């Protein structure tokens, strides 16, 4: 009884409902989908959802760092598109006559396009980081500009093909197997996401960089006074995000097997939504890795269920937009309540 009283004393039922309101609403939506079509609840669908959530989950792990810093990244999706185009163009089958690089006559080591994808994505992220850390620009503005730059670069790259703008497809079978294969009945993509999540959990919770990130996100002035090099740590967080974007881009190109100028569209919004659903606060200094993964998976369940039920594509945009507004509104309400 004493524990129960203590629990009630710490948080009222209204506060608990506020904390978990979004989860409750999304779970009700999922139950409604299952009720509408019980065949949705199958192992095959669950594995598909996990595979689709994997690349967005890795992307979200990078975006989450910016949100913990009380910022955001609107360019993540377009940056991923650039990395995906690089990966796919270098790993087209050498027997494909219309490949982008006909001078490549022998299959490249898979690690080379992965590294190039990471380099490209890191370069864009460091541009964002420089704008935030050194020029003191708001993350929204600098990432909006980088989004346009990355999209322009992606269009120019794809349009530079000999036959003009066309999807980058016909990929190396080794690449497709690495990304889309299964081990012990589980997609490789899920393992990649789990590995990235474990590494990021360690970075966030067991390293100085992680502790400094939360300190800066909570109160940058106090962090600076306590001896934290704010600019350096912000740049490091953006560097880590670029590495994660590069990995996600490499895997996404192999997953979809056809990269176009539309690749990565709205992925940043999915990543941001997943982070906020998973408890990463826009007020800064709050977030957990398990929460991010849960948020991304729940969002992907909603996305897949809407597609599965044949809901109008335009209506799907409306529903996703409402989820984002609701998630941010609840986050702001929590912040006001704490203040």
- Check if the beta carbon of residue 82 is closer than 8 Å to that of residue 153: yes
How far is Cα 262 from Cα 155, in angstroms, rounded to an integer?
Answer: 9
How far is Cα 186 from Cα 222, in angstroms, rounded to an integer?
Answer: 45
Domains in the chain, start-ordered, CATH in brackets? 43-324 (1.10.3470)
- Check if the beta carbon of residue 43 is closer than 8 Å to that of residue 22: no
Write out the two tokens for 18. 């506020």
How far is Cα 60 from Cα 68, in angstroms, rounded to an integer?
Answer: 12
Lowest average pLDDT, out of 7-21, 39-53, 191-205, 315-329, goes to 7-21
Q: What angle do CA 317, 139, 25 make, to 5 degrees?
A: 35
Write out the two tokens for 329. 């509104």
**Most distant pair of Cα atoms in the chain: their distance:** 75
- pLDDT tens for each residue of 285-332: 888 999 999 889 988 888 888 888 888 888 888 888 887 787 777 777
Q: Which of 181, 94, 85, 95 is nearest to 124 (CA)?
A: 85
Residues in the chain: 339
The pTM of this model reads 0.90
pLDDT(19) > 70: no
- pLDDT tens for each residue of 229-266: 999 999 999 999 999 999 999 999 999 999 999 999 98
CB-neighbour burial class of residue 75 (10 A; exposed 0-12, middle 13-18, buried 19+): buried
């Amino acid at each position: 009884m004493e524990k129960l009283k203590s629990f009630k004393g710490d948080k009222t039922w209204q506060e608990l409902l506020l904390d978990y309101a979004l989860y409750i609403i999304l779970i009700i939506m999922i139950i409604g989908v299952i009720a509408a079509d019980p065949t949705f609840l199958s192992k095959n669908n669950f594995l598909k959802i996990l595979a689709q959530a994997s690349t967005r989950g890795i992307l979200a792990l990078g975006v989450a760092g910016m949100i913990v810093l009380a910022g955001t990244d609107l360019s993540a999706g377009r940056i991923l598109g650039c990395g995906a185009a690089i990966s796919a163009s270098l790993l087209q089958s050498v027997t494909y006559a219309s490949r982008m690089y006909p001078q490549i006559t022998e299959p490249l080591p898979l690690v080379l396009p992965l590294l190039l994808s990471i380099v490209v994505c890191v370069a864009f992220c460091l541009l964002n980081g420089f704008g935030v850390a050194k020029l003191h620009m708001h993350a929204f503005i600098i990432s909006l500009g980088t989004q346009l730059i990355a999209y322009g670069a992606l269009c120019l790259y794809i349009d530079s093909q000999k036959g003009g703008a066309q999807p980058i497809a016909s990929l190396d079978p080794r690449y497709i197997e690495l990304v889309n294969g299964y081990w012990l009945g589980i997609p490789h993509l899920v393992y990649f996401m789990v590995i990235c999540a474990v590494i990021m959990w360690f970075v966030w919770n067991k390293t100085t960089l992680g502790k400094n990130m939360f300190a800066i996100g909570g109160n940058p002035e106090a962090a600076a006074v306590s001896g934290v090099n704010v600019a350096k740590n912000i740049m490091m967080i953006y560097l880590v995000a670029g590495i994660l974007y590069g990995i996600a881009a490499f895997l996404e190109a192999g997953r979809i097997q056809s990269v176009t100028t539309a690749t990565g569209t709205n992925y940043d919004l999915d990543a941001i939504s997943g982070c906020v659903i998973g408890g990463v606060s826009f007020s800064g200094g709050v977030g957990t890795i398990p929460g991010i993964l849960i948020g991304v998976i729940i969002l992907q369940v909603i996305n897949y269920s809407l597609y599965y039920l044949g809901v109008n594509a335009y209506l799907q945009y409306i529903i996703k937009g409402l989820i984002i507004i609701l998630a941010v509104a609840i986050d702001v309400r929590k912040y006001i309540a704490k203040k």
